[in-house]
Structure 1
């Protein structure tokens, strides 16, 4: 499958379906048909509208949609998304609330590079900018990155995170979500060895596979069952001629989306069938629940092949981080070097992607960190999405995380000890 032809074939299929939807919608909406009311034409117009939007969203990067913010002072402030560090595979961006005093809490939110854009954390960002300065890792779509930019694997990802942490300084509180959790831990440990003054103040790890074997799931079972040769042969393709990254080896977003949908095919089919009926009745809108969810869910990005393959091989199969054997740029990272960064893990009781125990393993790796600088929390009844963007995050987890940050806001260089932020402390 590692040919441009297969990549272009998928894009052709997507483009054709978008065109069919647009054609059906336009034809069935022709004014003359209104003289002969026909439910079939109404259904065709609705099907076309839903189909066109569905396939169009697959190649469109969603907008953050965070334009204004009402502060505690009662004033509406504009939110300006500024690029702080610009790199080929990802940028460091800042959500600057115009006209508001700089907030004492500085948070670096590390977004996953796992198929969706960083905008998946939109609601997380919205909840944090209330009283925090929020910075986010905004990863780029690999199909838009020229081959001349070189490779990007788990080591490069770790080096990017180190650069971002250096840029923001030692008063930063890092919050990593899902896939980047083990690499964020590695970046912090690497900084602790090479540039201790650049370490962040706190590190909050949410639902990530530090030790995938701690509590096996379908995701970890798949990684153990499939060989690297099978993955490379069936999942990796070259970007076609339509995009700037022509020739780059990637794990295509459209292929990832097919995998996502197949996991709950019946539920997705039912959702789209209901949406067509809603459009026919005039009950749908641009921002109804269906479109709000699927505009984000369907927007997928290509991952660099070397990043995807090295993640499966080194994080899941070889468990290099779990075994404290991770190497970056020829240097073996020592997680025991973390001695001044307070670390908290957050897990969901019903998380079927990174089950409880996988993220908690990070605390065992931090052998040089005092127990009073470690904390953990398992959210009852919460799934994977809920622990960083759902009701559980808003009502329970966010307050705990901010309390943990505030509890460790003292000057660590003076040896000031901080109390754990919650009773569920390690």
Structure 2
């Protein structure tokens, strides 16, 4: 019912969205002599706000069409090298092959936003690494005939992708997938799988959410699993390809995140309006780029979402050493070769300080020489993998760790 109501509402406001776009086109027409006047700029700013608040934000483009290596601009091709029902393994193939560059698998979060959220994260690695990413599909577009998707299926995907990439691969997980990546690495290590990653970097991940719990952690842990099943799980309506799929809708996830910092979002939109009226194009464009990405959300498979709530936030299975994969107990002590780098942000209000670095203490058989923790001062959750401090401090730290632990 909730999903159908949201779909009906979005259809109902489409005429308003189309109308304000028409008004903006008229305002910007070359024959309009009033288009640069304060009155028209104010009107246009108002219309753009309405347009953006009534728009439907689809999956953004990657926009990583080129990279520069040794002063030479090279084209990037987006090659899908594995196509699974719920995820593609995407390769950023450069037009000229580079010799002896490390293979890096970015494990993007399956938590409401598209993998393009890591655009800036990946861009920094394109000149000097062979880069791959898990490109998750919107669950509402996955036919019901493809079956369900659980936490263990996520682990299966990671193992399959790592085996496809082969030995000497380094894995980088951002936020939520830090847990399944640890499980996959422990599983592969216990089975002496030669494709086990040389290193894994865990960035802002909820390894042990009992440490410095945040508002996000409290939201998950203050309720039982039945509450989530009854209140946030929906059935995809008939107008979508995945009709009948049980999902955690992206619009529910987005409303939850925005409500936690509602004042900040409101202030940013007031500032955006002021920038448009003043003609401050740079700041206005920065706002557009951020919210075009932030407001583009996808639905999560319901079973995976509920598995994550239960295993990570309610039962704390990884730190309690009770995590299982298809009935098999996961032994983190099996991780003896894969070097681990944990990264946290001083101001992270989603994953509390210490939650990610707990991974180092859990892997008791891994030599200290293969463990490293780094905390970036002055950044929140998104600053861990995007922005100036990521480019200038965090990315070089990861690259150095990869270089040190290349097989």
Q: Same fold (TM over 0.5)?
A: yes
Q: Does the 8 A contact of 1:109 with 1:136 survive in 2?
A: yes
Match of 2:9 in 1: 13
Change (3 A) 1:286 1:13: farther
Q: Does the 8 A contact of 1:54 with 1:298 survive in 2?
A: no
Task: Give the 3-state SS of the residue equivalent to 2:292 in structure 1.
Answer: helix
Q: Does the 8 A contact of 1:275 with 1:284 survive in 2?
A: no
Describe how 1:292-311 pairs up with structure 2 within 5 A: 292-311=289-308
Change (3 A) 1:47 1:25: farther
Does residue 1:405 correspond to 2:399, yes or no? no
Does residue 1:158 correspond to 2:162, yes or no? no
Match of 2:19 in 1: 23
Cα displacement string for residues 100-119 of structure 1 (whole angstroms, at most 9, x for unaligned residues): 42442111111101110010
In structure 2, which of residues 60, 64, 67 is the aligned counterpart of residue 66 of structure 1? 64
Task: Give the 3-state SS of the residue equivalent to 1:52 in structure 2.
Answer: helix
Describe how 1:345-356 pairs up with structure 2 within 5 A: 345-356=342-353
Name structure 2 gaps, 5 residues minimum. none
The range that moved more, 24-33 or 362-371, is: 24-33
Task: Give the 3-state SS of the residue equivalent to 1:367 in structure 2.
Answer: coil
CA–CA distance in structure 2, aligned partners of residues 246 and 205 of structure 1: 35
Match of 2:75 in 1: 78
CA–CA distance in structure 2, aligned partners of residues 332 and 49 of structure 1: 54
Task: Give the 3-state SS of the residue equivalent to 1:197 in structure 2.
Answer: coil
CA–CA distance in structure 2, aligned partners of residues 195 and 57 of structure 1: 47
Match of 1:417 in 2: none
Cα displacement string for residues 296-343 of structure 1 (whole angstroms, at most 9, x for unaligned residues): 000000011111111111111001111111111221111111111111
Q: TM-score with structure 2 length normalisation?
A: 0.93
Match of 2:140 in 1: 143
Name structure 1 gaps, 5 residues minimum. 411-426
Q: Does the 8 A contact of 1:21 with 1:49 survive in 2?
A: no
Match of 1:52 in 2: 51
Cα displacement string for residues 104-141 of structure 1 (whole angstroms, at most 9, x for unaligned residues): 21111111011100100000110011200111011110
1:57, distance to aligned residue in structure 2 (A): 4.2
Change (3 A) 1:92 1:287: farther
CA–CA distance in structure 1, aligned partners of residues 181 and 165 of structure 2: 15
Task: Give the 3-state SS of the residue equivalent to 2:194 in structure 1.
Answer: helix
Task: Give the 3-state SS of the residue equivalent to 1:198 in structure 2.
Answer: coil
Task: Give the 3-state SS of the residue equivalent to 2:401 in structure 1.
Answer: helix
Match of 1:203 in 2: 200
Matched residue count: 404
